[in-house]
């Protein structure tokens, strides 16, 4: 069953249950309300009769009997001490039955029964000193007829309300389900990798947020698929080049094409290309492990400022060899729960990259804040080409004088695995900022 019909059925069932429960309680309470209202009316009539009885004179107008008969009041007046019926407008058998049962059963009761019928009654003594009791009654059948009419009308109202509720529910759920159906079609496009055919879904609230999240996911997935294709293309190229060199020299030496110094040179090229191939493979394996494996990353408490100093000490000879002034500003300590060897490797990769592209000097600053530390590496080189910035940390993306194109990708993977972030931009030269949180 479609979601639209499921929601409509659930909403209709809920409304039906609520209306049924409400109608049941109203119907149950209605008779009590009618009885109480009828008793108030009987009390008002009784007051009028008492006034007539007390004020009646021979010249005052119609007699009490005439007044009662004209108004068709079911009335009983009896003497409880003498067991004598003084006045009645009901069958004698019923009047005598009520008089005899009054003291033991009927006194203070709202509904009296007799002659296979029930009555709503109001009884009271005519005076405190008198044993005479006046009883006024209304057949309960009259009230039940009113109750039945009310119940019928209530059923009609419930039916109309249910129809309106179903129509409103259908309209509202259709507005809710339609964007979900559209979103389902957009997900089908993502499943088929038709990223260029995605269209925004007109919706509000949480569905709009889900649509935005789906579109962001599609963009990330498209970028990931593109980067994977580019990765395999670049990887095959990077691996193919040293393999071709090795194969070419190996076949030349085997066939006697290279002899003497040429053969010696071929051996050296083969060794160098083997080392380069080994380095590429190891870095690819490291990247794969950083993305998926827990065994390659072992966090513990480490002083990040000390790791920056260690990176400086290891790269100082390289900077001096290239004639680059390497300056580090690191004073305070900052401890974080990271893998020290991996984070040190990331610092070395970033600083080494800056030394490679600098003209005269490289500056490393550490900015210690309350909850994190920022390591800023800047050089005075030509900067990062604008077209290279968006994909600078992708695999096999090499800038000028780049080696394998995996160093920055490894650095980003290590920093993100440590819970931090890394970014690059241009000022006088290239600037790399690594932000790592306190652990």
Domains of the chain: 3-147 (3.40.1840.10), 205-292 (1.10.287.130), 300-437 (3.30.565.10)
Would you state the pLDDT for residue 59? 44
Strand-pair category, 117-125 with 84-88:
unpaired
Per residue in 146-187, pLDDT (tens digit) is: 777 887 888 888 888 788 877 887 777 777 777 777 788 888
Q: Which of 241-250, 321-330, 370-379 has the lowest mean pLDDT?
A: 241-250
User: Contact at 8 Å (CB) between 114 and 107?
Assistant: no
Average pLDDT, the chain: 79
DSSP reduced 3-state for 196: helix
Q: What is the pTM of this model?
A: 0.48
Would you state the pLDDT for residue 62? 45
pLDDT at 37 over 80: no
Per residue in 342-380, pLDDT (tens digit) is: 899 899 989 988 998 899 999 999 988 888 899 999 998
**418 Cβ contact list (under 8 Å, min separation 6):** 299, 336, 338, 339, 342, 343, 436
User: Contact at 8 Å (CB) between 283 and 410?
Assistant: yes
Per residue in 49-58, pLDDT (tens digit) is: 666 666 655 4
CA 356/CA 376 separation, integer angstroms: 16
CA 339/CA 298 separation, integer angstroms: 5
> What sign does the CA torsion over 389, 395, 399, 402 have?
positive
pLDDT at 63 over 90: no
Would you state the pLDDT for residue 363? 92
pLDDT, average across residues 296-318: 89
Strand-pair category, 111-114 with 430-437:
unpaired
Would you state the pLDDT for residue 71? 47
366 or 72, which is more confident: 366
CB under 8 Å, gap of 24 or more: what pairs does 17-21 form? 19/158, 19/161, 19/162, 20/158
| Ramachandran angles phi, psi of 233, nearest 5° | -65, -50
Would you state the pLDDT for residue 227? 65
pLDDT, average across residues 138-145: 78
pLDDT, average across residues 202-219: 80
């Amino acid at each position: 069953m479609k979601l639209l019909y499921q929601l409509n059925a659930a909403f209709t069932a809920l409304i039906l249950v609520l209306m049924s429960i409400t109608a049941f309680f109203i119907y149950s309470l209605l008779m009590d309300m009618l009885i109480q209202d009828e008793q108030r009316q009987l009390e008002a009539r009784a007051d009028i009769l008492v006034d007539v009885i007390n004020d009646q004179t021979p010249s005052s107008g119609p007699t009490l009997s005439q007044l009662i008969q004209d108004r068709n009041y079911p009335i009983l007046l009896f003497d409880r001490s003498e067991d004598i019926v003084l006045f009645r407008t009901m069958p004698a058998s019923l009047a005598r039955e009520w008089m005899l049962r009054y003291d033991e059963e009927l006194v203070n009761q709202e509904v009296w029964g007799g002659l296979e019928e029930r009555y709503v009654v109001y009884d009271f003594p005519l005076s405190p000193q008198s044993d005479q009791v006046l009883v006024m009654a209304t057949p309960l059948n009259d009230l039940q007829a009113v109750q039945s009419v009310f119940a019928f009308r209530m059923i009609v109202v419930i039916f109309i309300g249910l129809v309106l509720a179903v129509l409103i529910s259908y309209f509202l759920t259709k507005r809710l389900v339609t964007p979900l159906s559209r979103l389902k079609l957009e997900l089908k496009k993502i499943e088929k990798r038709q990223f260029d055919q995605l269209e925004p879904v007109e919706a509000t609230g949480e569905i709009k947020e889900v649509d935005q999240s789906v579109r962001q996911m599609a963009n990330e997935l498209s970028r990931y698929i593109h980067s994977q294709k580019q990765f395999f293309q670049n990887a095959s190229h990077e691996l193919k080049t040293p393999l071709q060199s090795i194969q070419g020299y190996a076949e030349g030496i085997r066939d006697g094409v290279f002899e003497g110094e040429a053969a010696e040179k071929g051996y050296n090229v083969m060794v160098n290309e083997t080392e380069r191939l080994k380095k590429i493979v190891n870095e690819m394996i490291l990247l794969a492990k950083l993305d998926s494996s827990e065994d390659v990353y072992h966090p513990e408490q480490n002083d990040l400022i000390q790791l920056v100093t260690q990176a400086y000490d290891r790269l100082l000879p390289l900077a001096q060899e290239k004639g680059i002034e390497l300056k580090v500003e690191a004073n305070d300590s900052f401890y974080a729960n990271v893998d020290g060897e991996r984070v040190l490797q990331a610092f070395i990769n970033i600083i080494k990259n800056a030394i490679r592209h600098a003209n005269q000097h490289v500056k490393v600053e550490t900015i210690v804040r309350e909850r994190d530390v920022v390591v800023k590496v800047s050089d005075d080189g030509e900067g990062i080409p604008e077209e290279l910035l968006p994909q600078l940390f992708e695999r096999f993306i090499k800038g000028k004088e780049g080696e394998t194109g995996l160093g920055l990708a490894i650095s980003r993977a290590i920093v993100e695995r440590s819970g931090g972030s890394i970014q690059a931009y241009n000022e006088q030269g290239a600037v790399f900022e690594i932000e790592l949180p306190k652990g």
